[in-house]
């Protein structure tokens, strides 16, 4: 299954238009957490406040499969 990972806040959306192939939703969650960890390493202290931001995992049809807040994940 192909999943897309969108960064979403109440005022902005950063849309993943490529997505990745995963075997199931649990695999997508693992990939999402890895991507968030990479963001943290890449940007370090530059990103000061992720409050209000979520990472949405969606299917090709746009249905939300899972969402988690970035503030708790990155701190």
Name the burial class of residue 1, with classes exposed (0-12), middle (13-18) and buried (19+) by CB atoms within 10 angstroms of its CB.
Answer: middle
pTM for this prediction = 0.80
Helix then strand then coil, % of the chain, to nearest 5: 35, 30, 35
Q: Is 48 helix (H, G, I), strand (E, B) or coil?
A: coil
Q: Tell the residue number behind the tokens 């049809």, with chain if given.
A: 61
Q: What is the pLDDT of residues 8-20, one digit of tens each?
A: 998 999 999 999 9
Residue 3's nearest CA partner among 42, 39, 30, 43 is 30
The pLDDT of residue 32 is above 50: yes
Q: Give the domain ranges of the chain.
A: 2-74
What local confidence, expressed as pLDDT, does residue 74 receive? Answer: 46
Q: Kindly state the average pLDDT of the residues 33-56.
A: 74
């Amino acid at each position: 299954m192909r999943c897309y990972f969108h960064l979403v806040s109440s005022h902005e959306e950063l849309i993943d238009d490529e997505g990745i192939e995963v075997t199931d939703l649990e695999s997508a969650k693992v990939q999402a957490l890895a991507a968030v960890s990479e963001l943290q390493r890449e940007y370090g202290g530059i990103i000061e406040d992720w409050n209000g931001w979520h990472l949405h995992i969606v299917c090709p049809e746009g249905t939300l499969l899972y969402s988690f807040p970035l503030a708790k994940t990155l701190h």
